[in-house]
């Protein structure tokens, strides 16, 4: 049995006309179904891996050869790390290929907050270790 209903679309908040297939035990919304490409060679993953390795090699060579002053070197390495993280999230975590990015961004933000707490706590323990032990 086919029924026409209005459901909010993801990302816009606008109401869209979506055709829904109602079965006995579930409701299927074709627009929200994940879209998988056919089985092709994973060029995106290969390029993402090669680009990530190149960014790592650039950062490594900059640090080993001390090509820049320390302040500039730290800034360049942090920028390279942020670019590499964006590549990792986009290519390997499939951040752009989901039905609803809102949940993924919420979980990603929570993971970032937990990582920040672990790093800040570790630095705090290292700075004040004489008072702790």
DSSP class of residue 28 equals: E
pLDDT score for 23: 57
Q: Is the pLDDT of residue 106 over 50?
A: yes
Q: What is the mean pLDDT of residues 59-88?
A: 92
Q: What is the mean pLDDT of residues 60-82?
A: 92
Q: What is the mean pLDDT of residues 41-70?
A: 91
Q: Is the pLDDT of residue 17 over 60?
A: no
The answer to whether the beta carbons of residues 44 and 37 sit under 8 Å apart is no
In Å, how far are 45, 83, 101 from 59, measured between CA atoms? 21, 12, 31
Give the predicted TM-score (pTM) of the model.
0.55
Q: What is the mean pLDDT of residues 29-57?
A: 79
Q: How confident is the model at residue 120 (pLDDT cuts 50, 70, 90)?
A: very high
Instruction: Report the alpha-carbon distance of residue 69 to residue 80 in Å, rounded.
Output: 16
What is the distance, to the nearest Å, from the Cα of residue 44 to the centroid of all Cα atoms in its chain? 15
């Amino acid at each position: 049995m086919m029924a026409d209903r209005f459901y909010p679309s993801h990302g816009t908040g606008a109401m869209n006309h979506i055709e829904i297939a109602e079965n006995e035990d579930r409701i299927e919304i074709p627009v929200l179904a994940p879209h998988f490409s056919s089985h092709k060679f994973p060029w995106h993953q290969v390029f993402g891996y090669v680009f990530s390795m190149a960014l790592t090699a650039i950062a490594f060579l900059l640090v080993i050869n001390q090509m820049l002053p320390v302040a500039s070197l730290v800034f360049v390495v942090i920028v390279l790390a942020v670019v590499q993280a964006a590549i990792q999230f986009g290519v390997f975590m499939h951040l752009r290929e989901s039905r609803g990015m809102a949940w993924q961004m919420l979980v990603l933000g929570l993971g970032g907050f937990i990582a920040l707490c672990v790093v800040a706590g570790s630095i705090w323990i290292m700075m004040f270790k004489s008072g702790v032990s």
